[in-house]
Chains A and B, each alone.
Chain A
């Protein structure tokens, strides 16, 4: 019984993997089509299959590395720092990621600022209204 359960679990995992691989394959195919239309060059099926396999393997590696890095920094959540560490080998990629990271950071800051402002305004409003109310009442 246990073996059957394990086997079925494995089967499930396997089918899950297959679905993921299929998804990756599809995405890679779409991207290749875009590049092909751009460069006016055809991609053979084998190429797409190879690229998708490599991508899948690299995704696995990335995930493991990210987990390692996070654990190394004694965190339980993967951070942008981990991602940056992962991408350090490729300069352009690293640059891109850092830029993106900065943008995101800025956005976050802005959002936070807005939120703070809103809160403050609300507070002020409430205070003012409260005061107004008080004044009115006093009057």
Chain B
């Protein structure tokens, strides 16, 4: 091309691209005009270019800039390039005008872009023979810089407000940094394309990560509780090393706690009583105060577990946030289960504490419908969220068969099947969470020793069936009704098994086989000519039993189960 401009002091990509664009021959539909010699073009295009100039923004500005006639030529040429609305020219314009900001980098840099843009043209202006190039460069920055600056400023303003918000939030750790960054931004217009701000200070609403809202542990109340418990409770070692069943003072206390949620350890029991008394005085919100005594005491002993369960325990230490009690307690329950292997005794007590807490919590009903069913045992209702959360107790845990009428608990009994003497239903039910060894050592306080044999051993297993019944009834059930249900179930099962025996004998066998059961079901009307036994099996039994009962052909011509 005619004009040769000296390269800038800093050959940036921008300038290089510009050079490429200028030097290369633009292949456009209007090539005829553009590829002509410069002189020709000048002659011809001057009027047209002028016209076109008027169309673009730059033309107006360019006119203002133009001074010398020497530049005119080049300017025309340059403008000629630009006037043709070709992709090339468009790209050139874009490169000239677009801010040098990337998606990744924050807007903070946007503000700085116009300034370098402004600076560069000025620099280029000084260089000789590069005026023609400068002109387009100049204008876009000048025209667009204010536009760019405005959003940048706006964004910066937004950022400041966000900073203020952050201050209000109290997430102080980030504040100083943010403030410093903000100050650095505002203060310096250095064209240092420094690293973008720290991620925390990026206040892009979409991308920024909201810091986890951790409830601040109220150290004051925590210590207070520690002090309280240490005063009232026996030395912590007793819980761990006391192998005696409930110590004497406990027996005296137990009757006083009618709705007591018995804790396995003596100290715990004392806590319970104190807590219960406190509880009776205080309303629901005050419940949390009673709770922390126990776990706080444990925490004093084993701080490691505190960390593990810190998530859940703050609910006990902090009086506020009662709405978070339930999920937190559940979380505690789950966490306690997870780290159960660490120390059983500690766990028991903690669990007992959780039970207390859950029992005292007032929103247990959200967990199971059985809460409604267990109308009679009001204090025990609260156990259900506890029960549901601890439904995954491992075998190490003991669940006494005597449980409040709630589904998860009878599930627990079934799983554990530990024939532990259970307290009479009227008394508390919480010892179901007690681990085996502890309950073995300590007969539950409110229970009368030997109460278990009073129950009919034949009906022992039907307890959970009755509870299942009451669960599905969706209505509160009286104890008598449950007993009746148990009796009926007993009779029913007796008849059932007698029939099976007779059927087997009728066929001259001594073993009951599936054919006998099919006969039984047929007599009951479940199996008909339309509905066969296999259909029922498929319908009601889980998949594992299906493959045991329904013969299926396997590879190698083998049929399982073998006929």
Contacts and interface: CB of A to CB of B under 8 A. Distances in A.
Contacts of A85: 502-503, 506
Nearest to B498: A88
Interface in A60-117: 65, 68-69, 72-74, 81-82, 85, 88
Interface residues of A, number: 10
A73 B508 contact: yes
Interface string B499-525: 000110011100000011001001100
The range of chain B's interface size is 10 to 19
Contacts of B519: 68-69, 72
Interface string B149-186: 00000000000000000000000000000000000000
Nearest to A65: B523
A74 B506 contact: no
A82 B507 CA distance: 10
A88 B503 CA distance: 11
A76 B548 CA distance: 30
Interface in B475-516: 502-503, 506-508, 515-516
Contacts of B507: 72-74
Chain A interface SS verdict (over half): helix
Given A81-B506, A85-B502, A88-B502, A72 B523 contact: no
Contacts of A82: 506
Nearest to B504: A72
Nearest to B495: A89
Nearest to A89: B495
A57 to B, nearest CB: 13
B506 A73 contact: yes
A68 B518 CA distance: 10
Contacts of A68: 519, 522-523
Interface string B512-550: 000110010011000000000000000000000000000
A68 B507 CA distance: 12
Q: Which of B503, B506, B522 has the most CB of A within 10 A?
A: B506
Interface in B214-270: none
A74 B519 CA distance: 13
B511 to A, nearest CB: 14
Contacts of B515: 72
Q: Which of A72, A73, A74 has the most CB of B within 10 A?
A: A72
Contacts of A81: 506
A82 B503 CA distance: 10
Nearest to B499: A88
A65 B506 CA distance: 13
A69 B506 CA distance: 8
Contacts of B522: 68
B522 to A, nearest CB: 6
A82 B519 CA distance: 13
B138 to A, nearest CB: 100
A127 to B, nearest CB: 42
A83 to B, nearest CB: 12
Contacts of B523: 65, 68
B502 A72 contact: no
A52 B392 CA distance: 58
A72 B507 CA distance: 6
Contacts of B516: 72
Nearest to A81: B506
Nearest to A88: B502
A59 to B, nearest CB: 16
A84 to B, nearest CB: 9
A53 to B, nearest CB: 19
Nearest to B508: A73
A21 to B, nearest CB: 22
A88 B523 CA distance: 14
Nearest to B522: A68
Q: Which of B503, B508, B516 has the most CB of A within 10 A?
A: B503
A31 B507 CA distance: 37
Contacts of B502: 85, 88
B496 to A, nearest CB: 13
Contacts of A74: 507
A78 to B, nearest CB: 12
A110 B505 CA distance: 28
A74 B522 CA distance: 16
A68 B506 CA distance: 12
A68 B516 CA distance: 11
A137 to B, nearest CB: 56
A100 B506 CA distance: 19
A82 B505 CA distance: 12
Contacts of A65: 523
Contacts of B506: 69, 72-73, 81-82, 85
Contacts of A88: 502
A74 B508 CA distance: 10
Interface string B108-127: 00000000000000000000
A135 to B, nearest CB: 54
A81 B507 CA distance: 10
Contacts of B508: 73
A85 B504 CA distance: 11
A82 B522 CA distance: 15
A112 to B, nearest CB: 24
B428 to A, nearest CB: 44
B485 to A, nearest CB: 22
A85 B523 CA distance: 12
Nearest to B516: A72
A123 B522 CA distance: 53
A67 to B, nearest CB: 11
B90 to A, nearest CB: 84
A72 B521 CA distance: 13
A85 B503 CA distance: 8
Interface of A: 65, 68-69, 72-74, 81-82, 85, 88
Given A65-B523, A72-B516, 6 more contacts: A68-B519, A69-B506, A69-B519, A72-B507, A72-B519, A82-B506
Top 9 closest pairs, chain A to chain B, by CB: A72-B519, A73-B507, A73-B506, A72-B507, A85-B506, A68-B522, A68-B519, A85-B502, A72-B506
13 contacts: A68-B522, A69-B506, A69-B519, A72-B503, A72-B507, A72-B519, A73-B506, A73-B507, A73-B508, A81-B506, A82-B506, A85-B502, A85-B503
